[in-house]
């Protein structure tokens, strides 16, 4: 078995069935799917149990947090490669096939992500992201998100050697890239093979994430950024926090997130809608 797909979930009853279906529909069929319920209080666990597939391994043992679950999945994985997946996102049917092919053809790459389509809670397409070359220069990694975390596929041994740090809740991926980029090689399949569900922004959670990101920049910035660059990066983060607070007063903070997305053509919008309909119609229950 080459691939383990890890999907931790918590209270995702409205989206979990579609997420699981999108995994089971993969054109690359030789994988194991580790589903981990992190203490859901809604019907998510019941939904997960309703799927009958020998490739699924379901775990439910209380609430321990996302970072614990991500490290747990790596420790349980039997595949040579480990794929991330979230309970409110979707995979395009050929995501694993194309990502795996890319990594097998580029054995020196440790972790690769893909482009993504952005959809809202109702599945309406809002844009696309992650289609440009990634820039792994030291200064850029501290200024920009390097990889689209929910879409990564990488060597399982790399994740075991580089566990997520529980000190950096809500920015654990950003810290991981900053910590490991000097001795790791990252890549990207520059094609939307993933659908990221961009829900309504919780400003309180955004501010928590931003504070953690500032902490990461302060820890890893010295020696990579000049004093002025470090100051400017931290100032920019503070400015974004202020902008979100101001826009939230007018209930317009979601607009700031959408500005990061590239628009879709009419054909692309139709493609995304048809893909979601196809996933919805998949019957495994």
Mean pLDDT value across the chain:
92
Residue 49 DSSP label: H
**Tens-digit pLDDT string for the chain (285 aa):** 899 999 999 999 999 999 999 999 999 999 999 999 999 999 999 999 999 999 999 999 999 999 999 999 999 999 999 999 999 999 999 999 999 999 999 999 999 999 999 999 999 999 999 999 999 888 888 877 799 999 999 999 999 999 999 999 999 999 999 999 999 999 999 999 999 998 766 778 888 898 999 999 999 999 888 899 898 989 988 888 887 777 776 665 456 566 678 999 999 999 999 999 999 999 865
Paired sense of beta strands 186-197 and 81-84, if any: unpaired
3-state SS assignment for residue 128: strand
pLDDT tens digit sequence for 91-115: 999 999 999 999 999 999 999 999 9
pLDDT single digits (tens) 142-152: 877 799 999 99
**How many CB atoms are closer than 10 A to CB 12?**
25
What span, in angstroms and rounded, lies between the C-alpha atoms of 48 and 44? 6
> Per residue in 72-94, pLDDT tens?
999 999 999 999 999 999 999 99
How far, CA to CA in Å, does 275 sit from each of 47, 149, 284? 21, 22, 17
Helix (H) or strand (E) holding 161: helix 156-161
pLDDT of 153? 98
- Domain covering 3-202+258-281: architecture: Alpha-Beta Complex (3.90)
Whole-structure pTM value: 0.94
Q: Are 174 and 73 in contact (CB under 8 A)?
A: no
Three-state SS at 169: coil
For residue 60, what pLDDT is reported? Answer: 98
Structure-derived torsion over alpha carbons of residues 273, 279, 282, 285, reported in degrees to the nearest 10: -130
For 62, 89, 169, 219, 251, the CA distances from 38, given in Å and listed in that order, are 6, 17, 15, 30, 31
CA distance 159 to 71: 8
Strand 186-197 relative to strand 90-91: parallel, antiparallel, unpaired?
antiparallel
């Amino acid at each position: 078995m080459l691939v383990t797909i890890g999907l931790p979930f918590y209270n995702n009853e409205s989206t979990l069935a579609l997420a699981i279906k999108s995994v089971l529909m993969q054109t690359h069929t030789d994988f194991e799917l580790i589903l981990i319920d992190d203490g859901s209080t809604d019907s998510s666990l019941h939904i997960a149990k309703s799927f009958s597939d020998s490739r699924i391994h379901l775990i439910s043992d209380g609430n321990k947090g996302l970072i614990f679950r991500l490290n747990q999945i790596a420790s349980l994985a039997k595949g040579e490669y480990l794929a991330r997946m979230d309970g409110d996102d979707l995979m395009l049917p050929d995501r694993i096939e194309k990502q795996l092919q890319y990594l097998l053809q580029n054995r020196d790459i440790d972790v690769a992500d893909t482009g993504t389509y952005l959809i809202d809670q109702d599945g309406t397409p809002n844009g696309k992201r992650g289609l440009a070359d990634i820039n792994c220069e030291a200064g850029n990694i501290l200024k920009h998100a390097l990889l689209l975390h929910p879409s990564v596929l990488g060597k399982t041994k790399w994740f075991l050697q580089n566990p997520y740090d529980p000190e950096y809740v809500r920015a654990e991926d950003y810290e991981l890239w900053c910590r490991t980029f000097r001795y790791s090689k990252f890549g990207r399949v520059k094609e939307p093979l993933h659908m990221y569900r961009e829900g309504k922004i919780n400003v309180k959670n955004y501010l928590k994430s931003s504070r953690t990101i500032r902490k990461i920049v302060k820890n890893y910035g010295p020696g990579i950024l000049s004093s002025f660059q470090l100051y400017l990066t931290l100032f920019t983060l503070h400015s974004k926090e202020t902008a979100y607070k101001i826009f939230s007063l007018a209930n317009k903070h979601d607009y700031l997130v959408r500005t990061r997305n590239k628009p879709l053509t009419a054909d692309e919008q139709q493609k995304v809608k048809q893909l979601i309909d196809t996933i919805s119609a998949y019957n495994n229950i």
